[in-house]
C-alpha cells in the first residue's frame, strides 16, 4: 500500500511539474480609422511576443473574430511571464497610446487558465513620425553601406567605432564585433532604441583606461533569423549561421585587421549580440575558437537552436580558454532563464572556459536592458572585476 501511495505522489508531482495552461487574449476595441477605412478593415491583427520571437506577422498568432471583438487562444503554455504587443503585421503598425506614443510591452503572468482583455488605443502609422536625433559620436563611421558578403551573396552596412585617441596614437587595439549594427550607435537607425555602445566605450575608457575598436554589422532584415542560426528551423528556414560566421572570420576580420591598427589574436578579438545575436555569438567561439576569444551572450534565443547545447558539450576549449558572458532577464519569457542556466552549466563544465552569468529578475527583452549590461561585459572581457548581481 505504501509503495502504491508513493507512486501516486510521484506521478502527481511529475504531472504538476509539467502543468500547462490556456491564455486567451481578447481585444475589446480598436481605434476607428479616419483614412483608408476599407483597407484598414481588411487588415488582420497579430500578437507578437516572447513566445514567437517577436515576429510582427506570424500567421499562427493572428487574432480571430469573437463577436464584435477579436481574440487569440494560446494553448498548452507553461506558467510564467509573457510579454507582447499587438500589430497589424509590421512594426511600423504597432499599437500605441491614444496620442501616438510608444507603449511598454504588455505583461501577463500566467498561473492558471486565464482570459485577459485589452483595448488598443492607437496605431503607430496613424501618427506622423517625429524625426529621431542623430546620436552617433564623432568616433563612429560607416565603413561601407554595401559591404559584400560573398558567402551569402548579399551586401550589408558595416559601422566602426574608433577610440578617441586612435588618430594620434600609434598603439594597436582589441576589436569587438557586434551584430544588429543598426541598434548599436545611432538612435536614427535603431527602431526600439540604441545600445549606446559609443558612449559606453568613451565612459569606460575614462574609468578603466581600456580602449577598444567596435565593428557593427547590420542584420539582414527578413534574413536575420536564418543568418544568425547555424541550424535549420521549421518556421524560419535553412540556417545560414555557418556562412555568416565564415564571412566574419575570413572576410570582414582580415579587412579590419588590414585597414586598422588591431590586436589580431583571439584573446583580443571579441564578439557579442542579443537574442539571435547572442546565440550566434556563442556559436562563434564554438566554430572559430582560434579567432574569437570571448563572447557576449545577451538574452540568447536558444529555443531556436536546441542542437547548440550538444555542440557546446562536444567542443574542446582546453587550449583556447574562451571568456563567455551570459545575461538574461526573467521577464523575457518562461524558457529564457532556464535555457540560459542550462547552457551556463555546460560551459562552466568545460575545461578552460571563463564564465560570468547575470540574471535580472525584472529584465525585459529590449535594448535598454542590454545597454545597461554592456559596461559590465566590457569589464569582463578586459579582465576587470564584474558585478554578478543586478543593481
**Residue that has been written with the C-alpha cell 568545460 in this structure:** 350
Per-residue pLDDT tens for 52-68?
Answer: 878 899 999 999 999 99
The domain made up of 20-126 has a fold known as Immunoglobulin-like (2.60.40)
Q: Which residues of 346-360 are buried (b: 16+ CB within 10 A; e: fewer)?
A: bbeebeebbbbbbbb
Q: What is the side-by-side order of every strand in the sheet holding 269-274?
A: 140-149, 154-161, 213-217, 175-178, 269-274, 294-298, 323-329, 354-360
Given pLDDT bands bounded at 50, 70 and 90, which one contains residue 206?
very high
**Total-model pTM:** 0.80
Q: What is the pLDDT of residues 289-347, one digit of tens each?
A: 999 999 999 999 999 999 999 999 999 999 999 999 999 999 888 889 999 999 999 99
Domain ranges in the chain are 20-126, 140-381
Task: Enter the C-alpha cell of residue 262.
Answer: 588591431
* Number of Cβ within a 10 Å radius of residue 175: 21
Q: Burial of 280 by CB count in 10 Å (0-12 exposed, 13-18 middle, 19+ buried)?
A: buried
**Assigned architecture for domain 140-381:** 3-Layer(aba) Sandwich (3.40)
- Interatomic CA distance for residues 58 and 80, integer angstroms: 22
CA gap 342, 325 in Å, rounded: 14
**pLDDT score for 391:** 56
Amino acid at each position: 500500500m505504501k509503495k502504491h501511495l508513493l507512486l501516486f505522489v510521484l506521478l502527481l508531482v511529475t504531472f504538476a511539474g509539467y502543468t500547462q495552461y490556456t491564455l486567451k487574449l481578447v481585444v475589446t476595441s480598436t481605434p476607428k480609422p479616419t483614412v483608408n477605412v476599407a483597407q484598414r478593415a481588411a487588415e488582420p491583427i497579430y500578437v507578437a511576443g516572447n513566445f514567437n520571437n517577436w515576429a510582427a506577422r506570424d500567421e499562427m498568432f493572428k487574432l480571430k473574430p469573437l463577436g464584435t471583438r477579436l481574440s487569440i487562444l494560446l494553448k498548452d503554455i507553461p506558467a510564467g511571464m509573457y510579454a507582447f504587443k499587438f500589430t497589424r503585421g509590421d512594426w511600423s503598425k504597432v499599437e500605441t497610446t491614444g496620442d501616438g506614443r510608444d507603449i511598454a510591452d504588455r505583461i501577463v503572468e500566467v498561473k492558471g487558465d486565464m482570459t485577459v482583455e485589452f483595448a488598443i488605443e492607437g496605431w503607430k502609422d496613424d501618427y506622423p513620425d517625429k524625426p529621431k536625433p542623430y546620436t552617433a559620436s564623432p568616433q563612429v563611421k560607416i565603413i561601407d553601406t554595401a559591404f559584400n558578403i560573398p558567402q551569402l551573396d548579399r551586401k550589408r552596412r558595416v559601422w566602426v567605432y574608433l577610440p578617441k585617441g586612435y588618430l594620434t596614437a600609434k598603439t594597436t587595439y582589441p576589436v569587438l564585433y557586434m551584430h544588429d549594427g543598426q541598434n548599436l550607435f545611432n538612435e536614427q537607425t535603431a527602431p526600439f532604441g540604441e545600445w549606446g555602445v559609443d558612449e559606453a566605450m568613451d565612459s569606460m575608457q575614462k574609468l578603466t583606461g581600456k580602449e577598444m575598436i567596435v565593428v557593427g554589422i547590420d542584420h539582414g532584415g527578413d534574413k536575420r533569423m536564418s543568418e544568425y542560426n547555424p541550424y535549420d528551423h521549421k518556421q524560419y528556414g535553412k540556417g545560414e549561421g555557418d556562412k555568416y560566421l565564415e564571412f566574419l572570420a575570413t572576410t570582414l576580420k582580415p579587412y579590419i585587421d588590414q585597414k586598422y591598427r588591431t590586436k589580431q589574436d583571439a584573446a583580443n578579438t571579441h564578439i557579442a549580440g542579443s537574442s539571435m545575436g547572442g546565440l550566434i555569438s556563442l556559436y562563434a567561439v564554438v566554430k572559430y575558437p582560434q579567432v574569437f576569444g570571448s563572447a557576449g551572450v545577451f538574452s540568447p534565443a536558444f529555443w531556436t537552436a536546441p542542437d547548440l547545447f550538444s555542440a557546446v558539450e562536444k567542443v574542446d576549449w582546453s587550449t583556447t580558454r574562451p571568456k563567455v558572458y551570459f545575461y538574461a532577464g526573467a521577464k523575457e519569457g518562461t524558457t529564457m532563464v532556464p535555457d540560459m542556466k542550462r547552457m551556463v552549466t555546460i560551459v562552466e563544465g568545460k575545461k578552460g572556459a571563463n564564465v560570468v552569468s547575470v540574471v535580472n529578475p525584472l529584465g525585459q527583452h529590449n535594448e535598454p536592458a542590454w545597454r545597461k549590461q554592456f559596461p559590465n561585459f566590457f569589464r569582463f572581457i578586459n579582465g576587470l572585476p564584474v558585478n554578478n548581481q543586478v543593481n
